[in-house]
Amino acid sequence: RECPRYTSASESVSYFASKTHAVGVRFNDAGELDLVAPFGLDDIFSFRITPNRVLDNQRTHEAKGKRARETWPEIRVVPW
């Protein structure tokens, strides 16, 4: 599948199949943590996996949702 050329790792997370998984953490030059969460953290704290339709990643979103529910049955997977 075609996907855009990313200008940074921070940009790439905005293309993850599920908005819920679009979270990254790294150390910055000052040794502090930088959090990248282009869609926020509400889905994580709400136990909800929400699709990111920016690319055609329906199969990946559904597979991740199925795997997550095997571990955490209380998670709600928002349909594609």
Token reading at 36: 């990248």
Q: pLDDT confidence of 78, banded at 50, 70, 90?
A: very high
Q: pLDDT confidence of 8, banded at 50, 70, 90?
A: confident
| pLDDT tens readout for residues 14-37 | 999 999 999 999 999 999 999 999
Q: Contact at 8 Å (CB) between 34 and 25? A: yes
The residue written with tokens 């030059």 in the block is 29
Q: pLDDT confidence of 4, banded at 50, 70, 90?
A: confident
The residue written with tokens 């926020």 in the block is 40
Model pLDDT, residue 76: 97
